[in-house]
Amino acid sequence: MKVCLTGGIACGKSLLSRYLNELGVATLDADDIVHELLPDAEERKRIAAEVFSDPVRRRELEQRLHPPVKERISRWQSEAEPGEIRVAVVPLLFEAGWENDFDLVACVRSPRETQISRMVEQRGYSQEEALARLADALSADGRTGVGEIGLDRLKAREIPPTMRKAFAEQLDLAAEYSRPVVLHGAKCWGQVVAALAGFAGKIPSFLFHGFSRSDGLIPDIVKVNGFISVGPAILNDHAVNYRALAAKIPADRLLVETDRTEASDRVSVRQVLEELARVRGAEAEELERITDANAERFFHS
């Protein structure tokens, strides 16, 4: 099986690759191939700085590097033994148009705060440079959204000022490029919703991931073209309040998710969908049609 791992800058692709290696899965990183083609680190740094703000130079560089990188990955995966899984790590998979070359594509995601922190702490970027890189990723691919971003009070009573600042800057970024946003709001959904008031009409749509607040916020969510995604908690018979909330979400605002974070988590979208249909007294097939249409509207509003 030909598998590809992709994801944005500083999302954790290298970390996941190491985990796969520890499990005995072979990986090949496109960036490592580029390093072989351009072995001088200072030269790579200089070229990266030059093409970052020059789309023409960037396309010229990609036209020179992409063919040998693609050929090397294709040859490496074709040499796999029968039944062996090999994983190619390709950061610019969709930008290069290679997604159909693989049997399975997995995308690594990470909260924007984590991305920025890694870029600052591990790669030596300033806060401004990190945000500029994220902005560049948005401008380079019209299919790119912003998220998961938001506020979090799971580990602290008060939300740190730096978190609020990062959230505001990320919302500004989404507004500037008119991209959909995936939101996180652990124990502070009211504050997250309040922060969106000035972005209605500027940001096309919002996905409220893991939303578990009372239904009193739903009218405000609808005002900003928000969608509420129901997850595996719906499968818990003891989650009475969550199940009651799921029954009250307007049908044209409903989405479903697995929120899988560990390999041991075997919950499927189908399980969530079928239980949600039961809670709402609806047919699963009809709810599938509705949520599919809502997902299209979220991405293409």
CATH number, residue 200 = 3.20.20.140
> Taking all residues of the chain, what is their mean pLDDT, rounded to a whole number?
90
Average pLDDT (19-31) is 95
Query: How many domains, the chain?
Result: 2
pTM: 0.63
The predicted structure's pLDDT at residue 260:
66
Give the number of other CB atoms < 10 A from CB of residue 208: 28
Same domain as 140, residue 101: no
- Give the residues across from 125 on adjacent strands: none
End-to-end alpha carbon distance in the chain? 35
Helices (H) and strands (E) in the chain, counts: 13, 9
The predicted structure's pLDDT at residue 275:
97
Same domain as 281, residue 148: yes
Same domain as 174, residue 52: no
Give Cβ neighbours of residue 184 (< 8 Å, ≥ 6 apart): 111, 147, 148, 149, 150, 151, 152, 192, 209, 210
| Residue 35, pLDDT above cutoff 80 | yes
Band of residue 34 on the pLDDT scale cut at 50, 70, 90: very high
| Residue 235, pLDDT above cutoff 50 | yes
Query: Tokens 């974070």 — which residue?
Result: 261
Same domain as 87, residue 185: no
What whole-number distance in Å separates Cα of residue 14 and Cα of residue 27? 10
Same domain as 150, residue 51: no
Question: 231, exposed or middle or buried, with CB in 10 Å at 0-12, 13-18, 19+?
Answer: buried
Q: Using omega within 30 degrees of 0 as the cis cutoff, is the peptide bond preceding 128 cis?
A: no
User: Of 73, 90, 108, which one is at a domain's C-terminal end?
Assistant: 108
| Residue 137, pLDDT above cutoff 80 | no
Same domain as 71, residue 119: no
User: Of 108, 134, 158, which one is at a domain's C-terminal end?
Assistant: 108
| Residue 261, pLDDT above cutoff 60 | no
Same domain as 43, residue 102: yes
Same domain as 262, residue 159: yes
Average pLDDT (128-148) is 77
Q: What would the pLDDT profile of 167-178 be if each residue is shown by its tens digit? A: 998 999 899 889
Q: What would the pLDDT profile of 58-91 be if each residue is shown by its tens digit? A: 889 999 999 999 999 999 999 999 989 999 999 9
Instruction: Give the domain range for residue 261.
Output: 112-300
| Cα atoms in the Cβ-side hemisphere of radius 13 Å centred on 130 | 21
Query: Tokens 């997604």 — which residue?
Result: 99
User: Of 93, 108, 123, which one is at a domain's C-terminal end?
Assistant: 108
Average pLDDT (281-287) is 97
Dihedral of alpha carbons 96, 120, 113, 135, sign: negative
Q: Which residues of 59-86 are buried (b: 16+ CB within 10 A; e: fewer)?
A: eebeeebbeebbebbeeebeeeeeeeeb
| Residue 55, pLDDT above cutoff 80 | no
Same domain as 97, residue 45: yes
The predicted structure's pLDDT at residue 142:
67
Same domain as 168, residue 293: yes
| Residue 9, pLDDT above cutoff 90 | no
Residue type, 247: A
The predicted structure's pLDDT at residue 113:
76
Same domain as 289, residue 187: yes
Same domain as 86, residue 69: yes
- Domain holding 99: CATH number? 3.40.50.300
